[in-house]
Structure 1
Amino acid sequence: MKICIFGAGAIGGYMGVKLARAGADVSLVARGPHLAAMQANGLRLIEEDGETRVDVTASDNPEDLGVQDYVIVTLKAHSVPPVVPKMQPLIGDNTTIVSGVNGVPWWYFHKHGGALEGTRLESVDPGNAQWDGFGPDRVLGCVVYPAAEVTEPGVIRHIEGNRFSLGEPDGEKSERAMALSKALSSAGLKAPVRPRLRDEIWVKLWGNLSFNPISALTHATLDILCTDPGTRAVARGMMLEAQEIAEKLGVKFPIDVDRRIDGGAAVGEHRTSMLQDLTMERPMEIDALVTSVQELGRLTDTPTPTIDIVLALVRQRARVAGLYGA
């Protein structure tokens, strides 16, 4: 089994070390100083119980790596459509694309059933780049839970979590899903195959939709954002609007909004990824996390007044910083 991790930053690098240490045939696509460090010195993972360094096959040119059985995409959502053509040398007749990307996935309505079956989402897949360039039948969904960071080129620090939930768009426990689950489990990762992966997508999206833009606008950490009455109320309003959309699409939430917000507060003094991107002057992941939910609101005739306001504000904040759109 050949596995390529495309976008081997913090999460991709963490997964790569785990797989390589377990003896998997894994390669990494990265760039810049991080790639140079991996090629020169291997990839180092710092965990609570110690450190691991592994030699890895890494390149910025997919042609060096050849056709893969699985391509696990761990880029930020907005970074994927432009690189679809570059990824083609990795893709053969039986290659599975594992979409480990935050937000509403581009394949959401593939094998969804109902009136919106096959609907394509412009907010996360402009110009249908992924739908046409990968093909939705190749996709295996993945909800990524670990937190990690690149502390210096070639060095990953694992913060928490080791679960990568997998799921077919139609909910089947397919042979390809079970085979990848086994490979990840053999590497010490949790990789359950879920019959209703969209439910998990929405529970994670609840937090990303609300906590990320509010934190970018206020610079508040999660503990403050989730306990201050004002910002908590804004997050709650966004979540309730999202819940109405999701339930119209058949999603079942295993917890309620207040428990989800309390879970965010329990994380403590954490700066969300969108706030980190803003402060580090990196493009902000607004469309997959927020615009996509607004688009789904339009598709399901669901008003999203709170989401609309926060989205307008965070877009403007990002534009002023030169980190979003034109």
Structure 2
Amino acid sequence: MLIAVIGAGAVGCFFGGMLAKAGEEVVLVGRKRHVDVIQAEGLRFESRAFDMRVDIGATTDPAAVADADIVLVCVKSVDTEDAARQMLPYLRPDALVVSLQNGIDNAARLEAALERPVIAAAVYVASEMAGPGHLRHHGRGDLIIGMAPGSQIVAKVFSHAGVPTVASPDVGAALWGKLILNCAYNAMSAIVQLPYGQIRDVPSANAAMTAIVAECLAVARAEGVTIASDAASQVDHIRGTIPLGQQSSMAQDFAQGRPSEIASLNGEIVRRGAALGIDTPANQVVVALVELLEKGRGVSGG
């Protein structure tokens, strides 16, 4: 099988690298600064267990999806429709498209743009691009994917590559759980530019995360999503989930001068809360702070 990965950032390079390392034929479609290095030297895949160069295809041309059996979409939420437009002329009718993205509606947005089914996935991996063509993996690397035509094939391919993958009939709840985790921690790490280990022991930060999570839970439940635990339990779960040395993906975006995904994370809670008549002041403050910081840095599009 040929697997194309749209978005050669930390998520795309991790899952693409794991698949290529297991012997699958993989091509990464990404930014020139990464592609040039990967073409010349391979993908440097650094983890706790190994540090190696992975032989993997790389290009800046979205036409690389033309022969792909599986297409993994790993771009930022803000780039979802643009990625769909770039892929659309080349996709095979029988190609399986999988959304490996933050947020809760990217698969639906891809389906609308591509006019074809898309498999949704909740992604749990702590990784970063430490330099051009250099992936650094901090922890986890598992998936929950939706039950859809082709999902068992995708799960089998990932599992063979050492990526724990579960196909779930309720992937929506998993996506909401991941959204809540991101809302609690992602923006806070970006604003203060600190890893989670230096945030979690500050009582006021924990109180703020608990308030953010409580609002997320209120919105989720109003939309009919079943999440059994309360805000304090959710924050306890987060404390045990995120590697202590890990900065959030949004913090990495800030450091690189890239637009953040704030609109698809805390901003999504604010929008949905407003539509439901639910106040979300903690999430609103986080959105305002991130957008003001981006404006101060001359970054737009988050």
TM-score (norm 1): 0.84
Deviation at 1:269, TM superposition (A): 4.1
What is the RMSD of the two structures over their aligned residues, measured on CA atoms? 2.2
Q: Which residue of 1 aligns with 2:179?
A: 205
8 Å CA contact 1:278–1:323 kept in 2: the answer is no
For the pair 1:184 / 2:158, whether they are aligned, the reply is yes
Q: Which residue of 2 aligns with 1:322?
A: 298
For the pair 1:73 / 2:52, whether they are aligned, the reply is no
8 Å CA contact 2:44–2:134 kept in 1: the answer is yes
8 Å CA contact 1:164–1:190 kept in 2: the answer is yes
Aligned to 1:223, which of 194, 197, 220? 197
Equivalence map 1:98-177=2 (5 Å) = 98-107=98-107, 130-135=110-115, 137-167=116-146, 173-177=147-151
- Name the aligned partner's letter for residue 292 of structure 1: E
- Give per-residue Cα distances to partners, 1:112-148, cap 9 Å, x unaligned: xxxxxxxxxxxxx6xxxx454223x421011111112
8 Å CA contact 1:95–1:138 kept in 2: the answer is no
1-structure distance, mates of 2:192, 2:38: 36
Deviation at 1:88, TM superposition (A): 1.8
Q: Which residue of 2 aligns with 1:296?
A: 272
- Name the aligned partner's letter for residue 162 of structure 1: G
- Name the aligned partner's letter for residue 260 of structure 1: Q
8 Å CA contact 2:195–2:247 kept in 1: the answer is yes
Q: Which residue of 2 aligns with 1:260?
A: 234
SS at 1:227 equivalent: coil
Relative to structure 1, the CA distance from residue 107 to residue 6 in structure 2 (aligned partners, 3 Å threshold; closer, same or farther) is closer
2-structure distance, mates of 1:322, 1:180: 40
- Name the aligned partner's letter for residue 142 of structure 1: A
Relative to structure 1, the CA distance from residue 157 to residue 313 in structure 2 (aligned partners, 3 Å threshold; closer, same or farther) is closer
Deviation at 1:182, TM superposition (A): 0.2
2-structure distance, mates of 1:201, 1:132: 19
Relative to structure 1, the CA distance from residue 224 to residue 55 in structure 2 (aligned partners, 3 Å threshold; closer, same or farther) is closer
Deviation at 1:5, TM superposition (A): 0.7
Moved more, 151-160 or 283-292: 151-160
- Name the aligned partner's letter for residue 21 of structure 1: K
Relative to structure 1, the CA distance from residue 51 to residue 107 in structure 2 (aligned partners, 3 Å threshold; closer, same or farther) is closer
8 Å CA contact 1:223–1:265 kept in 2: the answer is no
SS at 2:136 equivalent: strand
- Name the aligned partner's letter for residue 39 of structure 1: Q
Which structure 2 residue ranges, 5 or more long, are not aligned? Answer: none
1-structure distance, mates of 2:39, 2:226: 45
Aligned to 1:194, which of 164, 168, 178? 168
Q: Which residue of 2 aligns with 1:236?
A: 210
8 Å CA contact 1:162–1:190 kept in 2: the answer is yes
Moved more, 178-187 or 22-31: 22-31
- Give per-residue Cα distances to partners, 1:76-111, cap 9 Å, x unaligned: 211222332211244222223211111222346xxx
SS at 1:146 equivalent: strand
8 Å CA contact 2:119–2:148 kept in 1: the answer is no
- Give per-residue Cα distances to partners, 1:285-307, cap 9 Å, x unaligned: 11111111112113323222222
Relative to structure 1, the CA distance from residue 46 to residue 224 in structure 2 (aligned partners, 3 Å threshold; closer, same or farther) is closer
Moved more, 267-276 or 8-17: 267-276
1-structure distance, mates of 2:148, 2:90: 22
- Give per-residue Cα distances to partners, 1:182-233, cap 9 Å, x unaligned: 0001111111101111111122211211322233333443234333232222
SS at 2:199 equivalent: helix
2-structure distance, mates of 1:7, 1:107: 15
Relative to structure 1, the CA distance from residue 307 to residue 64 in structure 2 (aligned partners, 3 Å threshold; closer, same or farther) is closer
Q: Which residue of 1 aligns with 2:42?
A: 42
For the pair 1:281 / 2:236, whether they are aligned, the reply is no
Relative to structure 1, the CA distance from residue 91 to residue 64 in structure 2 (aligned partners, 3 Å threshold; closer, same or farther) is closer
Q: Which residue of 2 aligns with 1:23?
A: 23
8 Å CA contact 2:76–2:261 kept in 1: the answer is yes
